[in-house]
Amino acid sequence: MSSITPATGVVSFEEARRIVDEIAAKALATRGGSGETEILDLLSARGRVLAEPIVADRDFPPFARATRDGYAVRAADVAMTPTRLRVVGEIKAGDLPDHLTVDSGQAASIMTGAALPSGADAVVMVEYTSVAQPSHPNVAKDATLGWGTLAGEFVDIQRSVSVGENFVPRGAEARAGQRLLDRGRRLDHAGIAIAASAGKSRVQVFRKPRVAVLSTGDEVVEIDAAPGPAQIRNSNSYSLAAQVQNAGAEAVRLAIAPDERGRLRELIEEGLECDLLLLTGGVSMGKYDLVEQVLGELKAEFYFTGAEIQPGRPVVFGSCGAGIPARVRASNPASARVGMPAPHRKYFFGLPGNPVSTMVTFELFAQPMIEALAGMTPQRLIFLRARLKAEIRTKTGLKRFLPAVLSGEFENAEVELARWQGSGDIATLARANCYLVIPPDRERIEAGEWVPLLMR
């Protein structure tokens, strides 16, 4: 059989990420997620992507809301302090003070979350007041006021307030009809709070994209099988499935593909029925690394066939068009503009088989594609910085994402490399809590330097 040589191109990390972002943005624009939607109970929609905006059904807040316990006053009355005001009522949260007006020389006792009465334009915190004439239990309620205030009660105000202090005006957070959350937003607990406050007990979300996970390798066996002395268990399908689920998609674990063309091709074709296919293993330079060749036979278009990173250098990104001949890319795909992906193109990543490489390349490249297929604008990759605990010496040429431990507390974060045995070392990765990012031109980084890191 004649093998089709795929277009090759090893690109810098930034270029690889730019290509992924561009394809992801186009996939999002052409498909708007999977296109299909469903309606879920609010809590079941946690982690899902909104297919409808959440709109304010009324003003937020719906009334001028006191943010402190204290006294609703006219700021002008308390410009000079101390001063004494007559208490004309009490407003609890939930009360509607529509028969109460605070006139000059008056105050109303008010609780946090209660509606400001008319006439008042500020709230003095209770801490800066004292009841001037303690009430007696036998004093009758003032029937005309009706707010549970005791007739003849006065309050001494010790501090001035400005107009607008200690309350939020009606509609200050949002006006009725205003969009609170956009379509395409992934619902986290804050988004759930907004939907709940707008009365959305059920929300419309995009169907989760289906992501096929296909591990390859003659040495790889299922985790419940007894491995032979030279075999290893298929941990990648499980770590990837977990990452896929975290990213908001449904993982479809396929059977393990042997390093044999026919069966590998069958399984790849099965995987291409999903919205995205993630392969692991078989993308290096070994004699039995067949993934790119088989994808080439399936007329794949390759966007890149490697990135200058460690771990994960052999990572491959491309797409297959159902029955459509691939546009054959220029010899350096990085220099060519990435073509407009048609709605029916199926994307794939060939991730290296080493478990740490698999996990890192998923985060760097597959995650944004999944987010786009889920209907959301992919999140930017943001590196944080922490102080390096111990000097690092490394080789130049590749951008490195090395398992590291971020420790310390509060403002004193420090980071150090986890001592590892290379990209197969899952035990070290499990102990690590971030990746230390080392630029390709650095040979030595001194202790105390601020270094970028990627949380995981």
Residues within the interface to ligand AMP (CB under 6 A): 215, 217, 219-220, 232, 234-237, 280-282, 284, 286, 352-355, 424
Stretch that binds Mg ion, among 96-104, 105-113, 211-219, 402-410 (CB under 5 A): 211-219
Select the binding partner of residue 232 from Mg ion, ligand AMP, none (C-beta < 5 to 8 A, by kind).
ligand AMP
Q: Which is nearer to ligand AMP, 6 or 281 (CB)?
A: 281
Quote the least distance from Cβ 283 to ligand AMP, whole Å: 6
Residue 388 backbone dihedrals phi, psi, to 5 degrees: -80, 135
Token pair recorded at residue 392: 């690092």
Q: Which is nearer to Mg ion, 129 or 239 (CB)?
A: 239
Select the binding partner of residue 236 from Mg ion, ligand AMP, none (C-beta < 5 to 8 A, by kind).
ligand AMP
Nearest one of 309, 311, 427, 411 to 359, comparing CA atoms: 311
Quote the least distance from Cβ 69 to ligand AMP, whole Å: 59
Quote the least distance from Cβ 274 to Mg ion, whole Å: 22
Task: Give the DSSP letter of residue 366.
Answer: I
The CA R_g of the chain, rounded to the nearest whole Å, is 31
Quote the least distance from Cβ 45 to ligand AMP, whole Å: 32
Token pair recorded at residue 106: 């008056």
Quote the least distance from Cβ 268 to ligand AMP, whole Å: 15
Q: Which is nearer to ligand AMP, 111 or 255 (CB)?
A: 255
217 scored as a contact of Mg ion (CB under 5 A): yes
Within 10 Å of residue 356's Cβ, how many Cβ atoms?
A: 25
Residues in the interface with Mg ion (CB under 5 A) total 4
Q: Which is nearer to Mg ion, 166 or 215 (CB)?
A: 215
Residues 327 and 331: their CA atoms lie apart, in Å, by 12
Quote the least distance from Cβ 343 to ligand AMP, whole Å: 31
Taking CB under 5 A as the criterion, the residue among 281, 306, 333, 368 binding Mg ion is: 281
Which residue reads 């993308």 in tokens? Answer: 283
Q: Which is nearer to ligand AMP, 258 or 281 (CB)?
A: 281
Quote the least distance from Cβ 236 to ligand AMP, whole Å: 3
352 scored as a contact of Mg ion (CB under 5 A): no
Q: Which is nearer to ligand AMP, 314 or 341 (CB)?
A: 314
Select the binding partner of residue 219 from ligand AMP, Mg ion, none (C-beta < 5 to 8 A, by kind).
ligand AMP
Q: Computed from CA positions of residues 279, 282, 288, 293, in that sequence, does the dihedral angle turn out positive or negative?
A: positive
Token pair recorded at residue 88: 């004309």
248 scored as a contact of Mg ion (CB under 5 A): no
Q: Which is nearer to ligand AMP, 47 or 424 (CB)?
A: 424
271: Cβ contacts below 8 Å, ≥ 6 apart: 212, 214, 252, 254, 277, 279, 348
Quote the least distance from Cβ 436 to Mg ion, whole Å: 27
Quote the least distance from Cβ 22 to ligand AMP, whole Å: 26
CB 206 within 8 A of CB 48: yes
Beta strands in 158-227 (DSSP E): 167-168, 179-181, 202-206, 210-215, 220-221
Select the binding partner of residue 352 from ligand AMP, Mg ion, none (C-beta < 5 to 8 A, by kind).
ligand AMP
Give me the DSSP letters along 440-455: TT-SEE-TT-EEEEEE
CA angle, 277 then 369 then 367, to 5°: 90
Give me the DSSP letters along 56-122: -SS-BSSS-EE-SSEEEE-GGGGSSSSEEEEEEEEE-TT---TT-B--TTEEEEE-TTPBPPBT--E
Q: Which is nearer to ligand AMP, 214 or 434 (CB)?
A: 214
Q: Which is nearer to ligand AMP, 25 or 255 (CB)?
A: 255
Residues 362 and 379: their CA atoms lie apart, in Å, by 14
What residues make contact with Mg ion under the rule CB under 5 A?
A: 217, 281-282, 353
